[in-house]
Amino acid sequence: MIHLPVLLIIIPLMAAFALPLSIPVIRRNYKVIIAAASVIQFTLSITALVMSLQNPVQYQVGGWPVPLGITLMLDASSGFMTAFLSLLFVAAVTYSFSYIGRGKARYYYVLLMILWSSLTGMILTSDLFNLIVFIEISSVAAYSLVAYDETSFALEATLKYMILGTLGTTFIIFATGIIYSSVGSLNITDVSTQLHSVPAKPLNISIALYIAGFGVKTALVPMHTWLADAHSSAPAPISAILSGVFVKVGVFALFKLMYNMYGWSMLTSLGIDRLLINIGAATALLGGIMAVNQRDIKRMLAYSTITQVGLIVMALSLGTLQGLSAGFFHMFNHGIAKGSLFLSAGLMARKANSNEIQHLAGMGRCMPLTFFCFTVGALSIVGIPLLNGFLSKWLICSSLVSNGQITHVIILLLTSIIGVMYYLKVLQSLALPQEPEFNHSEASYKMYTPVVVLSALCIIVGLLPYIPLTVIDRAAFDFLNLNEYIISPIGRF
């Protein structure tokens, strides 16, 4: 179990490589490998979470000590994100078993496993260049998965995503180069101890480049333009993962750098926290405005993701422990709610053979269970009480008010009201009976089980938030104090 952090990264990767190699032996039953890998990875993630809650685990890849080697840090925040990631991936994999037809499905699972492994790597790593490598791997996997259906919309979306994303990665590499050339080390904690003796101008440029580079992955304004296209053209489980987890991991990595490498006091003196919170507010508003009156349901859900990510960024850029907990909690809640939404929307869209809202009218009557899951997800994001979205909104609002950002609270409430407008409209048109009626056939149990599990989790976390909140409080505390935990051969940093 000492090698747990590396195992978390390697197991899906091994499954991804084993899959094409084993085809001659296994033929059609390659799903066994994927299922086994998912189960193992999920159990390992939960173990990792439990372990990290007791005390953080620092793992040096290859045994190389700190300034030379790559550090994988499994503290409460990484453990929490890994477990959250695994939850959504297990749901997506189970859903994909029935959703993705035969044909080139092997490539789909290979890419999915690579995506899983690289996202886990992004969360765990404490080394700047390792971060870049994992960002690239996950981006390449994501580009290919968005283009999986090979419709013209999917290809166009992939193109835009790819070019914007590559530009972003180029900026991140540039920023890492600046940091390395100023400081001489690539470990986050090591850099943070030596930053005060470095000329300020290159550092400031590197901060700006990091924000721009991660901004593309996270879809902050004005780099959000690819997200609506990509998430609406991808197959439903991929949209769920991209919306539910991928953007959150980007936010997580960005803020890990901001908090631990640069230090919040340095950022406050530059005004970066004001910049980030205003970007968050602008993102939230823009997502809300664009989502009203969309014709395509998945595009509407994608813009809703942009809104919620704006709220998360607003919460995380406060610099307080309260803000961090609120942000992480909203990451979790939005992830499961949006996962439930995209997966059930995928089921309904497949039944109706169209993604457009007007063609989906009346679908709620034919697929009551799926529609119930969709409703739970939608109401959670809108902020109806007794569901988890309301609690995280309350926590974000109270942390904003404690910091005195009243205007941003008003913006948040405004986006909630706009959210009610477009979500409720869709819910109504889905629920009312239409002529001609679709035939009453619910989707197969294999496909709706993950959706039901995610929605049930929404309701449970809404009513009994005790366990997630304690984990998240601990995660936020560890996130702020990450540098205390990393030990070097010369002693604690």
Partner 1 sequence: MINPVLLLILSATTIFLPLLIRKRVVFPFVFGIVFTAGLFVSKEVLTLPYWLYPYGWQIRIDALSYFFLVLLTFLVFMVALYSYSYIDKSDNAYFGWLGVFLTASMGVIVSGDFLNFFIFWELVAFALYSLIKKNQPEVAHRYFIIQFSGASVLLLGILLYYSNTGHLLVGPVPGNLRFLFILGLGVKGAIWGLHFWLPEAHTKAPSSVSCLLSGFVVKLGIYGFIRLIPDYNLFFLVLGGLMALYGVVFALFQHDAKTLLAYHTISQLGYIIMGLGSGNIIGQTGALYHLFNHAVFKGLLFLAVGAAGYRLGTRDLIKMGYLYKSMPVTTMTCLVAALSIAGIAPFNGYISKTLIKEGLYDINLMKHLITIVNYGTILSFSKLMYYGFFNKPEELKEKNNALKEVPAGMTTAMIIMASVCLVTGLMPQLLLNDIIFADISISFWSFEKLSSNIYTLILGLVIFYIGRNILRPKHKVINDIDYFYRSIVPFLSRFEIKIKSIHTGNLSHYLIWYVTFLVVIILSIL
Partner 2 sequence: MKFTLVFIIVIMSIGLYGVLAKDNLIKKVIGISIMEGAVFLFLVSYGYRQDGAPPIITGYETRIVDPVPQALTLTAIVIGASTTALMLGIIIKIFNNYKTLETKEIRRLRG
CA angle centred on 465, ends 483 and 91, rounded to 5°: 85
Q: Is 140 in the site for partner 2 (CB under 8 A)?
A: yes
Residue 245 partner contact from partner 2, partner 1, none using kind-dependent CB cut-offs of 5 to 8 Å: none
Considering the complex, what minimum distance in angstroms separates the CB of residue 138 from partner 2?
Answer: 12
- As a whole number of Å, the CA-based R_g of the chain is 22
CA angle centred on 73, ends 71 and 75, rounded to 5°: 170
Residue 174 partner contact from partner 2, partner 1, none using kind-dependent CB cut-offs of 5 to 8 Å: partner 2
Q: Is 464 in the site for partner 1 (CB under 8 A)?
A: yes
Distance CA 246, CA 216 (A): 12
Q: CA nearest 43: which of 87, 93, 95? A: 87
The binding track of 182-211 with respect to partner 1, each residue x by CB under 8 A or -, is -------------------x--xx-xxx-x
Considering the complex, what minimum distance in angstroms separates the CB of residue 131 from partner 2?
Answer: 12
Q: Phi/psi at 271 (nearest 5 deg)?
A: 90, 15
Considering the complex, what minimum distance in angstroms separates the CB of residue 404 from partner 1?
Answer: 9
- Burial (Cβ within 10 Å: 0-12, 13-18, ≥19) of residue 254: buried
Task: Closer to partner 1 by CB, 39 or 406: give it.
Answer: 406
Q: Is 39 in the site for partner 1 (CB under 8 A)?
A: no
Helix residue spans in 224-320 (DSSP H): 225-233, 236-241, 247-256, 264-270, 272-291, 297-316
Distance CA 462, CA 440 (A): 31
Q: Which of 45, 118, 138, 144 is in the footprint of partner 2 by CB under 8 A?
A: 144
Piece of the chain touching partner 2 by CB under 8 A; list 100-108, 141-149, 257-265, 269-277: 141-149
Q: Is 386 in the site for partner 1 (CB under 8 A)?
A: yes
Site for partner 2, residues 216 to 245, rule: CB under 8 A: 228-229, 232-233
Tell me, what DSSP letter sits at residue 387? S
Q: Which of 30, 108, 143, 328 is in the footprint of partner 2 by CB under 8 A?
A: 143
Task: Closer to partner 1 by CB, 209 or 251: give it.
Answer: 209
Three-class SS string for 56-98?
CEEEEHHHCCCCCCCEEEECHHHHHHHHHHHHHHHHHHHHHHH
Contact 415, 330 (CB under 8 A): no
Structure tokens of 387?
């569901």
Site for partner 1, residues 73 to 102, rule: CB under 8 A: none
Task: Closer to partner 2 by CB, 294 or 416: give it.
Answer: 294
Q: Strand locations in 305-357, DSSP E?
A: none
Site size for partner 1 (CB under 8 A): 56
Q: Is 465 in the site for partner 1 (CB under 8 A)?
A: yes
Q: Is 284 in the site for partner 1 (CB under 8 A)?
A: no
Q: Is 460 in the site for partner 1 (CB under 8 A)?
A: no
Task: Closer to partner 2 by CB, 277 or 286: give it.
Answer: 286
Burial string for 348-364 (b: 16+ CB within 10 Å, else e) reads: bbebbeebebeebbbbb
Tell me, what DSSP letter sits at residue 435? S
Which spans of this chain sit near partner 1 (rule: CB under 8 A)?
A: 159-160, 163-164, 167, 171, 201, 204-205, 207-209, 211-212, 215-216, 222-223, 225-226, 270, 272, 275, 286, 289-290, 292-293, 384-386, 390-391, 394, 397-398, 401-402, 406, 409-410, 413-414, 416-417, 420-421, 424-425, 428, 432, 463-466, 469
